[in-house]
Amino acid sequence: MGIGTSIFLIAVGAILTFALDANIGGVSLDVVGWILMAAGVLGLIMTALVWGRRREVVTRTEPVEYRQVEQRRDVAPPL
């Protein structure tokens, strides 16, 4: 779940919880709103943890091997 989806869930949950006052078929929209907001916050935290891991820098401690390239000078250039 991305940041945008998490923010969308939080917004929809807040609308259902605080802006509407209705019950549909015995289901309270307040409870559905709180559940959506909790899912959005959880998704936001999980996304932040995943993005935080991507920013870690990996360093190598082993030395880099270098090859010496020799240039031959005894060959005449092409005509």
Q: Which residues span the domain enclosing 30?
A: 3-54
The predicted pLDDT at position 28 comes to 85
What residues form DSSP beta bridges with 24? 27
Integer Cα distance of 65 and 73 in angstroms: 26
Confirm if 40 and 10 have CB atoms less than 8 A apart: yes
The predicted pLDDT at position 58 comes to 66
The predicted pLDDT at position 70 comes to 75
In what helix (H) or strand (E) does residue 56 lie, and over which residues does it extend?
none
H-assigned helices in the chain: 3-14, 29-54
- Residue 21 in any domain: the answer is yes
10-residue stretch averages of pLDDT, the chain, 79 residues long: 89 91 83 94 90 67 72 70
How many domains does the chain contain in total? 1
The predicted pLDDT at position 42 comes to 95
- Residue 75 in any domain: the answer is no
- Residue 47 in any domain: the answer is yes
The predicted pLDDT at position 66 comes to 73
Integer Cα distance of 18 and 32 in angstroms: 11
- Residue 72 in any domain: the answer is no
